[in-house]
Amino acid sequence: MSPATPPSSVLDKAVDCVFTLEFPVALEEAVLDVLLAHPQWVSGVTVLHVQGMGVQTTLVSAMERVQGRARRVMVQALMQHSEVPWLIQALKREMSSPEVLYWVTPLLSSGSLA
């Protein structure tokens, strides 16, 4: 038996942008829970552990203060640009935080090498 897959309508959609979120490690599970609750917009994500630095970066631990950079998580999802505002509304409603940043970039092409 094959593993469960998202509804075919999600898989058949032509994605045209990369939706990126960046946030503190402490919010990782909460953000992923919100994304997983909306398979109509997001069929899968890539999770990256990164470091951020800058004047608006909150340095929580002693190690972060010494290094001058914060441990953060970056999540990327390929999706339709027209659905991004719906996802942003859901994220704001379910876990509003000034420490969750997002940006959207055009996707020129995507596919598999198989």
The average pLDDT across 57-81 equals 79
Is the confidence at residue 45, as pLDDT, over 80?
yes
Is the confidence at residue 73, as pLDDT, over 50?
yes
How far is the C-alpha of 93 from the C-alpha of 16, rounded, in Å? 25
The average pLDDT across 14-40 equals 94
Alpha helices, DSSP H, located in the chain: 8-12, 28-36, 62-67, 84-95
Domain extent, residue 55, equals: 15-105
pTM of structure: 0.79
Structural domains counted in the chain: 1
pLDDT computed for residue 67 by the predictor: 66
Sign of CA dihedral 64, 67, 69, 73: negative
Q: Is residue 37 part of a domain?
A: yes
Q: Is residue 95 part of a domain?
A: yes
Q: Is residue 29 part of a domain?
A: yes
Q: Is residue 63 part of a domain?
A: yes
**CATH number of residue 85's parent domain:** 3.30.70.120
Cα–Cα distances in Å, from 45 out to 20, 36, 53, 62? 10, 9, 24, 31
Q: Is residue 8 part of a domain?
A: no
